[in-house]
Amino acid sequence: MLIFANPHHAQHEGRQEMFRGRLVPCHETPSRLEHVMAELARRPVGPVQDPPPVERAVLERVHAPRYLDFLRTAWEEWVALDPANAALDALPSTWPVRGFRHDIEPSNFAARMGLYSYDAGTPLTAGTWVAAEAGAACALAAAQAVSGSRGTRSATALTRPPGHHAGFDFFGGYCFLNNAALAAQALRDAGAGRVAVLDVDYHHGNGTQSLFYGRPDVLTVSIHGDPRTEYPFFLGHADERGKGEGLGFNLNLPLPAGTGFGEWRAALQFALQQVREFAPEALVVALGVDTYEGDPISRFRLASDDYFQLGRDLASANLPTVFTLEGGYAVAAMGVNVVNVLEGFEG
């Protein structure tokens, strides 16, 4: 297994997120990835490399040009408003709700923060763009590595900020660029006729679903906390099956809060059976480990040892596989849980 680690991830370091009515320290911290890297040093599963730089055109295969421009320059704009802003993060606080027109882009910065986001839990910081862009580079390098007849069997993008909540032109859920979607699109562009994305993060992969919802060439499957009670709330129900040509190529498997590994694994087996029937040429796994029983913001009950089995089950699909790192907020256990998946996968 080849591993591409984001050398710039720590430049994205949010101070506070809006959480249950107050500003609290961010859950999505640089220490998350540091724990994974430390565990990987103890139990290597493959060589760790820096990714080559990304080309803008590749990002535009998934994201809107004006959204990318906004992310790239947002911090400068924020500080230009008031030099004292350099000591703060930018957080959105107003959003265009249903029926408000979106075709005229406001010039006001706060308005554009809202236009391009959907929650107040995702601070934009001085190094957000550099970190997110280098993370996308990891995902694209991983996709490239498994592509073609001489590709490696698997590659992992070890990166943060995560990606699966980011859509065509919006950030949220701690995510800015959709690394899993970028990998899936890159696999398509490198010649894979069909690609499956399997999202095992606790939270529904709403960004990924929305990006591929009308397409039959990318199957999106997500196992997650029921959106009736769990973030991101407004998407992720079982009756969302795709639209138009994409009808039948999205599968949501919501599970109630409190679900343990037995029932979770049954959903995984069903998901993998659907992936097999789709007969893809490559698989992207959006790997969140916030399904862990000790996660502070999530409510499934997987134990650390269960992640070995997850890895083995994913390997049974027998496909060229790209992993992207998504959520997981029990920081101290995060390294063990992620490396357990990768070790299980490697067999």
**Contacting positions for ligand Q9C (CB under 6 A):** 17-19, 119-121, 162, 165, 173-175, 201, 203, 231, 288, 290, 297, 326-327
Q: How far is the CB of 6 from ligand Q9C (least distance, A)?
A: 15
**Taking a C-beta distance cutoff of 8 angstroms, is the pair 301, 265 a contact?**
no
Please say if 165 is a catalytic residue. Answer: yes
Question: Which tokens go with 150?
Answer: 């001489």
Helix (H, G, I), strand (E, B) or coil at 38: helix
Q: How far is the CB of 215 from ligand Q9C (least distance, A)?
A: 23
Q: How far is the CB of 202 from Zn ion (least distance, A)?
A: 5
Return the one option of ligand Q9C, Zn ion, none that residue 264 interacts with (CB less than 5 to 8 A, by type). Answer: none
**Residue 202 binds Zn ion (CB under 5 A):** yes
**Residue 226 binds Zn ion (CB under 5 A):** no
Catalytic residue among 35, 63, 165, 203: 165
**Residue 290 binds Zn ion (CB under 5 A):** yes
Sheet with 218-225: strands ordered across: 48-49, 2-5, 154-158, 321-325, 282-287, 195-199, 218-225, 250-255
**Contacting range for Zn ion; rule: CB under 5 A; set: 22-30, 52-60, 189-197, 284-292:** 284-292
Q: How far is the CB of 302 from ligand Q9C (least distance, A)?
A: 14
Return the one option of Zn ion, ligand Q9C, none that residue 114 interacts with (CB less than 5 to 8 A, by type). Answer: none
Kindly tell me which of 201 and 313 has the beta carbon lying closer to Zn ion.
Answer: 201
Residue 335 CA to residue 38 CA, distance in Å, equals 7
**Residue 329 binds Zn ion (CB under 5 A):** no
- Per CB under 5 A, the list member of 123, 167, 288, 344 interacting with Zn ion is 288
Kindly tell me which of 225 and 280 has the beta carbon lying closer to Zn ion.
Answer: 225
Residue 305 CA to residue 6 CA, distance in Å, equals 26
16 exposure class (CB count in 10 Å sphere: 0-12, 13-18, 19+):
middle
* Count helices and strands in the chain by DSSP H and E runs: 10, 10
How far, CA to CA in Å, does 2 sit from each of 99, 303, 319?
46, 26, 15
- Per CB under 5 A, the list member of 163, 246, 327, 344 interacting with Zn ion is 327
What 85-90 contacts at long range (C-beta under 8 Å, 24+ apart), as own/partner pairs, is 86/126, 88/15, 89/14, 89/15, 89/16, 89/123, 89/124, 89/125, 90/123, 90/124, 90/125
Return the one option of Zn ion, ligand Q9C, none that residue 162 interacts with (CB less than 5 to 8 A, by type). Answer: ligand Q9C
- Per CB under 5 A, the list member of 12, 32, 203, 204 interacting with Zn ion is 203
Q: Which amino acid is at 115?
A: L
Angle, in degrees to the nearest 10, between helices 30-42 and 331-346 = 50
Biggest distance spanned by C-alpha atoms of the chain: 56
Q: How far is the CB of 201 from Zn ion (least distance, A)?
A: 4
Q: What is the 3-state secondary structure (H, E, C) of 331-345?
A: HHHHHHHHHHHHHHH
Kindly tell me which of 26 and 192 has the beta carbon lying closer to ligand Q9C.
Answer: 26
Q: How far is the CB of 276 from Zn ion (least distance, A)?
A: 25
Kindly tell me which of 63 and 188 has the beta carbon lying closer to ligand Q9C.
Answer: 63
Binding residues vs Zn ion (CB under 5 A): 201-203, 288, 290, 327
**Catalytic residue numbers, as ranges:** 165
